[in-house]
Amino acid sequence: MANRTAKLNRETGETQVSVSLDLDGSGQYRIDTGNGMLDHMLAQLSRHGLIDLDISAKGDVHVGWHHLVEDTAIVLGRVLNEAVGDGQGIVRTAHAYVPLDEALALAAVDFGGRGYAVVDAQLTDTDMGDLSPQLVHHFLETLAIEGRFNLHVRILAGASNHHKTESIFKALARATRAALTHDPRRMGVPSTKGIIG
């Protein structure tokens, strides 16, 4: 099996973001974006997806968190896409339901090379720290587009915005892990087109 690791440093006039990951890791992470809630969600992605993840991000947060959250998603998505590569032997599609107390989230993914997101998160502004509901939606959408995978997220139950958001990221992590697992019976790329992308 090929080494499924990637890293990228991206600097703009607004942010400096560095991401490295190993899809076949053990869920170890070192994350510092300066946004506690975003760090907490990215830790869920790593730990529950068994993805080793190293993220450092800083930028012009004096104007708000939009640039930093968006650019972190851009870089993470690009690194994820690079690590997936041509998708030889992967399962490709998967879904996961994850509860957290009263909250229940569904995430379904298709790593078929088509970046698209449908997010029905039903989040409001309370209990989210410095991460607004709009930025959760934007992060997930940007991650899917830059990572070139199809993502559907839906909250099926919940009251706490923190619980709903955390269950989303855990469901995304578990669905991603399942979709990117190698199927020993699969020969080549999981597509009738013969390529992913």
Please give the full DSSP string across 137-196, using - where no structure is assigned: HHHHHHHHHHHT-EEEEEEEE-S-HHHHHHHHHHHHHHHHHHHTSB-TT--S-SSTTSS-
Give the position of tokens 């990215």.
Answer: 42
- DSSP class of 190: S
**CATH topology assigned to domain 5-179:** Ribosomal Protein S5; domain 2 (3.30.230)
Say if residue 123's pLDDT is above 70. yes
The answer on pLDDT for 197 being more than 80 is: no
Contact 103, 155 (CB under 8 A): yes
Please list, in sequence order, all residues whose beta carbon lies within 8 angstroms of the beta carbon of residue 123, skipping any fewer than 6 positions away. 133, 136, 137, 155, 161, 164, 165
Q: What percent of the chain has pLDDT over 70?
A: 99
Q: Give 1's pLDDT tier (boundaries 50, 70, 90).
A: low
pTM of the model: 0.96
Task: Give yes or no for residue 125 having a pLDDT over 90.
Answer: no
Residue 190 has pLDDT above 90, yes or no: no
